[in-house]
Structure 1
Amino acid sequence: IKDLILLCGRIFLLLTLLTLIISVTTSWVNSFKSSQVYLKEEDEEKNEKRQKLVRKKQQEAQGEKASRYIENVLKPHQEMKLKKLEERFYRMTGETWKLSNGHKLGGDEDLVLESESQTSSETANREAAKRRNLPKPVTKVSPAAEQPTQKEVLDLPEEPPEIAEEVVTVALRCPSGRVLRRRFFKSCSSQVLFDWMMKIGYHTSLYSLSTSFPRRTLEVERGWSLQDVGITVDTVLNVEEKEQSS
């Protein structure tokens, strides 16, 4: 029995020692791993800082290159281009004297001024001679300028609603391309079309109305209605300029 008890005690002691060894070993391994992870994170952080610093230096270098390019290439090119445009402008306007660098007082200044004044006077004399020889322009008053002034205010009949009976829509196609539309009763006087044309700025002494298909001049008589002149459906009329007798 004593031997059995001693054997059990030894086994228990051995298990305790083994457990202690395993615990110490595990803690040591974990601490080693954590230190490795910490070192790895620290290295990554250093690498990231190093990369940021490199990128910053590269950006600064690129910015410096761009500024040198602008200063040494773009600005001189733009200045040269502006100078050429300025020279071209002064040559077109005849002010080439503005392109000269000027002269100091004394010396050749009087000769230069005298030469320039002589050249300008000769140019002025030639232009005056040309103006005397040119024929006087014949100013022809356009028909629009000859349009008589409309003093009276033309009143058009009230526009009927779309749902009313015996109503037609008349469209006026103006010479400018604008198209105006208005509704009238078929029983309205045909003269209302010419009143409408005059109201929008086309006088009857200079303009007439014509149908589109077939193309013919619209003729009206006193007392005729729209229906009498053939406007029984929606119609497009053209505002045309009358032929001026020579």
Structure 2
Amino acid sequence: MTSAPHLLPEDRADYERVLDEALRTATDRPEPSAAAARLGAGQLRAMALDAAALINTAAAAEYAHLVRVREEHRRPSGPSAGPGSNPGPRGEVTPGAGLGVVVTVLTPVLAGTAAVVLLLLGYVLRMVDPPPDVAGQLLSAGWFFAAVTAAGLLAAGAALLVTALRNHPAEAHATGATEPDEVARARETWHHALRERGVLPFLYEALAASDAPPVSSQETSTPHPPSPDLTAPHAD
């Protein structure tokens, strides 16, 4: 038997949705059997969740196709894509994007540190009588770096906002909201195969096994021969 790929965590929610739909099909009958009364939906669901890897083997080919197609669409299109590059809106790679992020983040930190040091020294020297000329220069430089810090914070906030807006479509793609048609078709095919060949047969088999009458120990034990009737008259 072909072994199915390990069920990825991102597909666990899909498996549970298919399982919930199959549970409604398996348990919602006009005349529920005694097994359905003994095994509730919660017990059946727990059993199917524990056997997820085994059940998914029934849809091994469909699930492998889904994983392969999804990985192909997620793979960067540019051959030179690397950790220091940033794919553009059409898949092109923009080198140096990581350096810009580092500069945007470090600028307000370094400028703020310089502003605090220069302003502190400037105000301390200004308290000296008479204040030296360098105190005014330190204060001017400190206020300049304070302005640079404010501008850097605004630029960093704008960069974070732009990054969040750019990553929003990627997050929606990861959750399957705007996934490509080929991936959506592969997912639907896997759902159907998993439901029809995996989950439903498992649930029906569990119900049938629970519906079988239990065999008591008296029935399985060796029958004893009937005891003789002591009240019967003995032959002379």
| Structure with more contact order per residue of length (Cα contacts < 8 Å, sep ≥ 6) | 2
Shorter-chain TM range is under 0.3
Structure holding more helix per residue = 2
TM-score, normalising length: structure 2: 0.24
Rg bigger for which structure?
1
